[in-house]
């Protein structure tokens, strides 16, 4: 199975948004019922993706198998944190692969291409957030050399 990873363009916007909505629906059902399912195709979500598609400090990649977009990754460079002695950093903002294509190397290829983009940009660290209950995602990130660094806790009132 040939997996083609390519840099997304504005022509890919609708496909990326469709995949992002699938991600949101999955996370809404499994981890976070506060997610706004109207965000992706709404004004703010559309603006988010358009800005990332057109900015040199952002990267959206798509994974294609047999002319079908089966996954995407969105990431961007982060501004230096004034309160820390941090090297250039990037954030893997969101990644999604259709269920049928998981555990077949698609996510890994997306991440490796993003990591290469980061190296070209002189990035020294990549950050990612994951739901604590999303064991599959955490396993994927750890397999790709991510280590736990900070912990965010929430309290319901």
Residues 6+ positions from 131 with CB-CB distance below 8 Å: 27, 30, 31, 32, 137
Q: What is the pLDDT of residue 59?
A: 96
Question: What is the structure's pLDDT at 134?
Answer: 95
**Rounded mean pLDDT, 51-67:** 95
The pLDDT value recorded for residue 83 is: 79
pLDDT tens digit sequence for 101-125: 999 999 999 999 999 999 999 999 9
Closest CA to 5 of 96, 83, 70, 51: 70
Could you read off the pLDDT of 72-103 as tens digits, one per residue?
999 999 987 777 777 789 999 999 999 999 99
pLDDT confidence tier of residue 15, bands split at 50, 70 and 90: very high
Distance of alpha carbon 38 from alpha carbon 8, whole angstroms: 22
Reported pTM:
0.92
Q: Was domain 4-143 assigned CATH 3.40.630.30?
A: yes
- Per-residue model confidence (pLDDT) at position 87: 74
> Mean pLDDT, to the nearest integer, of 15-37?
97
Domain residue extents for the chain: 4-143
């Amino acid at each position: 199975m040939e997996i083609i990873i390519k840099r997304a363009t504005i022509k890919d916007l609708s496909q990326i948004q469709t995949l992002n909505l699938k991600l949101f629906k999955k996370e809404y059902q499994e981890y976070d019922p506060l997610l706004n399912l109207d965000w992706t195709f709404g004004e703010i979500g559309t603006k988010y993706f358009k800005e990332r598609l057109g900015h040199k400090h952002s990267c959206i990649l798509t994974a294609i198998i047999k002319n079908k977009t089966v996954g995407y990754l969105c990431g961007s460079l982060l501004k230096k944190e004034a309160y820390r002695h941090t090297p250039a950093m990037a954030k893997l903002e969101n990644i999604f692969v259709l269920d049928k294509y998981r555990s077949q190397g698609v996510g890994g290829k997306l991440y490796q291409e993003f990591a290469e983009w980061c190296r070209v940009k002189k990035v020294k660290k990549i950050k990612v957030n994951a739901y604590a209950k999303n064991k599959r995602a955490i396993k994927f990130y750890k397999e790709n050399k991510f280590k736990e660094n900070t912990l965010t806790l929430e309290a319901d009132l």
